[in-house]
Structure formats: structure tokens, C-alpha cells
Amino acid sequence: MATQLLSQTSIFSSVFCSNSNGVGFYKFRSSPHIHHVSVSSSSSFAMGKTNQSISRLCYLAADLVKSGNGCSWIQDNSSGRSVAASDECYQGTVCYALPMKPAQVSTVEDLFEFICSGPLIEKLGMSPQNVADAIDKWLAYGSYLCRLFKVNEMELTIPQKARFYHYYIPVFFWCEDQISQHHSSFKEEEEIPPLVIGFSAPQGCGKTTLVYALNYLFEVTGRKSAMLSIDDFYLTAEGQTQLRESNAGNALLEFRGNAGSHDLELSVETLTALYKMTKEGLKMKIPRYDKSAFSGRGDRADPSTWPEVEGPLTVVLFEGWMLGFKPLSTEAVTAVDPQLETVNNSMKAYYNAWDKYIKAWIVIKINDPSCVYNWRLQAEIAMREAGKPGMSDEEVRDFVSRYLPAYRAYLPTLYSEGPSGSDPKRLLVVEIDEERNPILGY
């Protein structure tokens, strides 16, 4: 039996406006015509309370005009800009003035169906009712991400829509839920330290972009967060030289990257200080690393350039390619590569320096570590085509080869057992394909 639902007409006209600060955004003028549509009982809309929610949302686009979000769901598969994040994109103007042209916008129902088709919805325990009740947030978060990545909201491609609505926003909802659980574990009179969420993911898979997106969503929703990478804790140039000389002939320690090439004392110092950022007025600088120094060998950036964060912090987003790796038996690692023995011995100290601070985990899972080579090669080719210096194909192969033994040794345990000290109830595993998009996992 078909269920009758009140629905907004699918055609809107758009009007380009600007606020008092000169920031451009779109307002939507809806048609005054409202019609009924039939939805089969097999549709996810054919649910008692959900019907009421969707009917309420029919007017959402017009309501968003009042808030200035100018958010829309666009069915336009024309080419758009890359959604790769960068420091420049994040630190610059985040509101993007869209071109002045009318747009055909599909109904909110289409957005609802698209969101519900995402591979993470069921995994996160979200029902169609949950999505319907929070659809205004989905729309607003999508608009914020378009501004952050400076993509035209009127010309989102299907991959871009999937990246936002099937990946970044669902993960953001999961993070919000983890923060709520974290807060509930403290008494009302207690100071609540920030929740440290760890992101363990291979190089090139998009973890830094994901963290940028989440950090920005926390910012625009009024919560203070800090971004941190294990790269921030690499040894200084002098420390690297000492490590290389004391492990002559070990290609895995010739350059920064593997366990043993990090300043663990600095990481403990930093994470401990961030954990204490619970009050207004508290400020601290977060270490950063300059990978371009010393002809690419790298060095710690000048402290005057380190970014500053202010309390009270709600969350710390900590990412790294080897976060959560567990040391294995000597026999297990030497079977993969004899040079891993030294790396494995160094890894024993990493739990106390990193992992014990992390209370919630996101693990980005890949099926084949060789993807790392392909992703890195794509990035270098893009840099060369843009006229910027980049590694040759052979240099890329050599660079990635220094990480592959660790991936082959430690990823199976990470995927089967989870990160060191992790709570299975506070662990999200997102399996991605070669295009870096989530897929239906196990």
C-alpha cells in the first residue's frame, strides 16, 4: 500500500545574496505549489514517525535562508574541483562565493535516500529515523564542507557527494557520540579533559583530509579542537643523523618514518599538556615539522611558526600511519624483513608515548598495502603536472618501500585485534577502496 507524504516540489530558484560582511551565499525561493507524492511501502519513508519528520523537512531549504546557511542538495554531475584539503585551504577564507546562476535542486527526500544508501549508516547504528530527525544537520554540515574545500555547491560530482555524505559527515556524527560518552563518564563538578581520538591509516589514504574536515566541523559548531600528527614528533635533523649513523645499513631507519625516528619525550609532553587544556584562557603551541628542510630530510619547524590552541578543548584529533601498531615477536617481524627487528624493539615504547592517551579510535582499513604506492605516485604526478617539484616514479617506489615492511607485518594484527589498548566499543573501522571511499566491510 502506498503512503501519502506531503512533499516540497522539486524545483527551486536560487538567488545570490551577500551578508553584511560581504560573504556570498545562496538563498532558495521555493515554489508555492505543494503536492502529494506516493511512496511505496517498501521505501524507507514508509515509517510512522519518519513520515512526520520528512514532512517537516519539506520546508527546510526555505528555513535555512533565515540562518544564512544557503545549503542545498544538488543533482549535478558536472566536474567539480578536487576536494583535497591543504593548509592553504583551511587557513584561508572558508566561505566560497558561488557563481550567480539558477540551479535545479532535488527534493530533500532524494538527499535522505542518498544518505541512507551510504555504507557507514548501518555500521554506525543509524536508522532512517535517525537520519530524518537530523537532516537539518546533514544539510548544514554539507554546506560547511563545500565552503572549507572551496567546491561549488552547485556542481558537486557524485564522488564529492559520496565523500561528504557517505564518509566525512557520518564519521563526524560518530565522533560527536564518542564525545558524549566521554563526557558522561565524568561527574558534574569534575573538569572534563578533551577526548583524544586516534586515526590510524596508511599514507595517502586521505586521513589528513578527513581530520581537516572534522576539525572544521567542530569549529563551526562551536567546539574547540586540536589537530595533531605523529609527523609532528619526528626527530630533529640532528637526531635523524644520529639514528642513521647508529643503524648504518638499515634502510628502514635511513630516513624518518618508522618506529625509532620519533621524539617520544616531546609527544608525551605535548599530549599531557593538551589533556590539561580544560579551562578558558589556557593556551599552548603545538609542535610542527618542516619536511622540506635540509633538502627534504626534514627538521622540526621553528617554534615561532607552531599553531596555538586555546582551551577548553573538546577533542584532540591525532592521526598517523602507524598509530596503534603492536610490537610482535622477533620471529614474526624478521620473517617479513630482518631489518624490522630494530624497528620492532623501538615500538615497545610507543604505547606509553601515544596510544595510552587515545580513548576512541578510527582505523582506516585497506586490502592491499600496494595502494600506498599508487596513491603516493598520483600525488607526485599531480605536483609535477602543476609545475611543482615532485619525486620521480623511482624515487616514489624507494620512498614507499621503506614503509611496506611495517604495513605487511603490523596491519594484519591491527585489523584483527584493534589498536593497542583500544576498547572494541569505541573503535570504528572504515574500509576504503582504491578511490579512498568507504565500502561495505565485514
pLDDT at position 383, please? 72
**How high does pLDDT run on average in the chain?**
79
d(CA 321, CA 261): 13
Say which CATH topology domain 174-441 has.
Rossmann fold (3.40.50)
152-175 pLDDT, tens digit per residue, is 877 888 889 999 999 999 999 999
pLDDT at position 7, please? 34
Supply 440's cell numbers: 561495505
pLDDT at position 387, please? 78
199-208 pLDDT, tens digit per residue, is 999 998 999 9
Cβ atoms within 10 A of the Cβ of 32, count?
A: 6
Residues with Cβ within 8 Å of residue 177, at least 6 apart in sequence: none
pLDDT, greater one: 68 or 433: 433
pLDDT at position 250, please? 96
Name the band, by pLDDT with cuts 50, 70 and 90, for residue 275.
very high
359-418 pLDDT, tens digit per residue, is 999 999 999 998 999 888 887 788 778 777 767 888 888 888 999 999 999 999 999 999
Cβ atoms within 10 A of the Cβ of 273, count?
A: 14
Judge whether residue 235 has pLDDT over 60.
yes
Q: Which long-range contacts (CB under 8 A, 24 or more apart) does 55-60 make?
A: 55/5, 55/6, 55/7, 57/108, 57/112, 57/132, 57/135, 57/136, 58/6, 58/7, 58/8, 58/34, 58/107, 58/108, 59/8, 59/30, 60/108, 60/135, 60/136, 60/139
Q: Which long-range contacts (CB under 8 A, 24 or more apart) does 214-223 make?
A: 214/168, 214/171, 214/172, 214/175, 214/317, 215/90, 215/317, 216/90, 216/94, 216/144, 216/145, 216/148, 217/141, 217/144, 217/145, 217/168, 217/169, 217/172, 218/314, 218/315, 220/144, 223/314, 223/315
Geometric angle at alpha carbon 304, from 295 and 276, rounded to 5°: 115
The secondary structure of 350-373 as a DSSP string is HHHHTGGG--EEEEEE-S-THHHH
Judge whether residue 424 has pLDDT over 70.
yes
pLDDT at position 316, please? 98
Pick the closest to residue 292 from 243, 239, 231, 371 (CA basis): 231
Segment 32-44 mean pLDDT: 32
Question: Where in the chain are the domains?
Answer: 106-166, 174-441
Question: What proportion of the chain, given as a percentage, has pLDDT over 90?
Answer: 60
53-82 pLDDT, tens digit per residue, is 444 444 343 333 333 333 333 333 333 333
Q: Which residue is it, cell 639514528? A: 243
278-330 pLDDT, tens digit per residue, is 999 999 999 999 988 887 788 999 999 999 999 999 999 999 999 999 999 99
138-149 pLDDT, tens digit per residue, is 999 999 999 999
Contact in structure between 212 and 145 (CB atoms under 8 Å): no
Residues with Cβ within 8 Å of residue 280, at least 6 apart in sequence: 311, 312
Q: Which of the 8 DSSP states describes residue 223? A: -
97-120 pLDDT, tens digit per residue, is 333 444 444 567 788 999 999 999
Full-prediction pTM beyond 0.85? no
